Amino acid sequence: MKNYIIKLGLLICNFIAYIFLKCYFFITNKESSLNGEKINAVILADYLNTAMLIDAIQAEEMNAWLVSTKRYNFYNLVLNSRFKKLKGIKFIPDYQDCRTEELLKFCNERKITQVLLQSGDFLVPMLNKLNRLLGSKGNSDLAVQCSLDKHIMRETLNKHNVSKVNLVSVDNENDLEKIDFYPVVLKPSVGTASEGIVCVENASSAKKAFQECQTKMRKTEFKTSFIAEEYVQGRQFDVEGIIHNGQVHVLCVVEENYDGFFPNFDMNWYLFNAIISDELNEKITKTVSQAFGVCEILHGSFHCELRVNSLGEIKILEFANRMGGGFERFISEVTGTNFCELYLSSMLDKPFVIKNKQLMLFDKYFKNATELNQWQSYLNANNIEFTESSIVQDNNKYKLSVRTFEREEIYNISEKFGLSIERVV
């Protein structure tokens, strides 16, 4: 009941903010004061706060508009006052192909030459299509399909023998009989945030798992099927960075862990600036570069998830032509490089420098308050800095963030609580 009241309150706040913004831009008519010497850009926004990208555009002294459906968190835009940095907001019902002509006309009327995206898987097709039509940096149809559809991505990688993983298409329960390797991961071909993804240990549990996938998957406007991939045992990493004219530049490697939630993929912990050897770091960069090459991804930011198996092979699980949702601020903090400013420089073909201060941020999720209190007691006793605990509303778990600059502190935490973080000499 409490969560329902909170969600209802946020919906009301968002609607009020939405009306406020419509009135604000109508009354102020900020488009009448456009500077013809500035670059005009539009930000596609929907699922996450775009504050960092708005700030980066402001720093470049560009004119910017926001395009969004009514699902965007407008109240954040009002609370942080960043709406004042925008020339206007374009509201659309969705991002389907039928909106392309409308958005292209909107851009042409305002001499907009750049379409930008901070995050949001389902906005990637429109991002690249509009940039191609405007003569800016837009990736090919294959690149967009690989970024959006895990089935197409896997078939493309397997075809070129890059990070090859066994795959079976699953359109209905009868197709489950085609699977002759276990354990497997059942997942929707189009989706995000591990929604509808389940690990299946054997054939006897496949039907129930498939039904769970269908129930928990995110509903989108895109055609979705299901796939079964071989389960890759090993450490999992997120790789964040940019692709500048076909060249991959890794900004940060994040280790993530799902222990304790099998067969689902609920988050256990993240370690920003993962502790890995130089050899593994080079191998990860090489494999990611090969994957993006065969998938024709040449421009923009990227978020790539992969695992390292027992043979030391890199197996890419999925990737997207956008920043990791919610990671931008943390990655900027631990590397000392503003992720959004880096992305903007690349899209504008301006010089950029990637640096990484190798600071560390550790995010831990807890199933209950007792486990959380054990961690707090240990961290306080050892004078290790951490943020105040919070409750993650979506799955009712507790979360704690540890900020530390010392590897030894991370190792000690790992040994104390059995986190299996490997020591690197």
Show me where the domains of the chain are located: 2-136, 166-230, 235-417
Question: Across-strand partners of 250?
Answer: 241
Instruction: Report residue 217's pLDDT band, with 50, 70 and 90 as the boundaries.
Output: low
Could you name the CATH architecture of 235-417? 2-Layer Sandwich (3.30)
pLDDT above 90 for 158: yes
Query: pLDDT tens digit string along 323-339?
Result: 987 888 889 999 999 99
Q: Which range scores top for mean pLDDT: 38-47, 162-171, 188-197? A: 162-171
Q: Residue range 17-44: average pLDDT?
A: 82
Mean pLDDT of the chain: 86
Q: Give the pTM.
A: 0.89
Could you name the CATH architecture of 2-136? 3-Layer(aba) Sandwich (3.40)
* CA distance linking residue 200 with residue 178, whole number of Å: 14
Q: Which range scores top for mean pLDDT: 52-56, 242-246, 255-259? A: 242-246
Identify the burial level of 293 via C-beta atoms within 10 angstroms of its C-beta, where 0-12 means exposed, 13-18 middle and 19 or more buried.
middle
**What's phi and psi for 48, nearest 5 deg?**
-130, 160
Q: What is the pLDDT of residue 213?
A: 77
DSSP notation for 104-128: HHHHHHTT--EEEESS-GGGHHHHH
pLDDT above 90 for 136: yes
Query: pLDDT tens digit string along 222-238?
Result: 677 888 899 999 999 99
Fold of 166-230: Dna Ligase; domain 1 (3.30.1490)
Q: Residue range 386-413: average pLDDT?
A: 73
| 266 against 136, higher pLDDT | 136
CA-to-CA separations, 197 to 98, 183, 185, 226, in angstroms, rounded: 30, 13, 7, 10
